[in-house]
Chain A
């Protein structure tokens, strides 16, 4: 059974670059699925950040596109998120999730989430 696990710093200073990694276990990142990042500010709803295929093809939310890079490492079976120039508005729980074409591109598997706080 595929599982996802996020890792990264819990606290960051404004203007820095957020880097998170999502480890994929129990399956291959080279399967016919897309891999995505979703975030949730405290007490608020869900926001899609972007997605990537194992080929490296990626799509980003236009609201974040200028600051976001998602990459995939097939040898390590993980994918990563980089978000530059962070501010307090980027404080959120960050989830990695699998998008399943078999489920009409629904997020069928989620990581447990990692809280990132941006504060000076």
Chain B
């Protein structure tokens, strides 16, 4: 099973600042199968990025994904108030499907 480790656990930032979230895999897999999600309290996760770097439909261009092999990054160029939430990475490169434990982006 591929273990995804996200860091940091919590990121305290102000609106307008840049956020950089990390997702590290315990073993390499095809970067095509790495996705990022945003989850707000009481809501289902929402797909942000698929294929490591492609934005999902309707996702603003302040969100970007990068990485390959075992190291992946989600960058939010300028935080908007609605971006403060929990972010998860997920892989489908190797069964079983696994998720990272999440990074909470909170208002400083």
Q: Tell me the interface secondary structure of chain A in the complex.
A: strand
Contact with A along B29-67 (1 / 0, CB 8 A): 000110101000001111100110010100000000000
Total contacting residues, chain B, CB less than 8 A? 25
Among B43, B54, B90, the most chain A Cβ lie within 10 Å of the Cβ of: B90
Is B92 within 8 A of A46, CB to CB? no
Tally the A-B contacts, defined by beta carbons under 8 Å: 64
Q: How far is the CB of B45 from chain A (nearest CB, A)?
A: 6
A63-120 residues with Cβ-Cβ distance < 8 A to B are: 63, 95, 97, 99-100, 103-108, 110-113
**From A36, A47, A48, A103, contact of B47 by CB (8 A):** A103
Known A45-B101, A45-B102; contact A61-B47, beta-carbon cutoff 8 A:
no
User: Across the two chains, which residue of chain A brings its CB closest to B6?
Assistant: A45
Is B56 within 8 A of A107, CB to CB? no
Taken together as a complex, chains A and B put the C-alpha atoms of A59 and B73 apart, in Å, by 28
Is A104 within 8 A of B50, CB to CB? yes
Residues of A within 8 A of B51 (CB): 103-104, 106
| A residues neighboring B (CB under 8 Å) | 36, 45-48, 51, 59, 61-63, 95, 97, 99-100, 103-108, 110-113
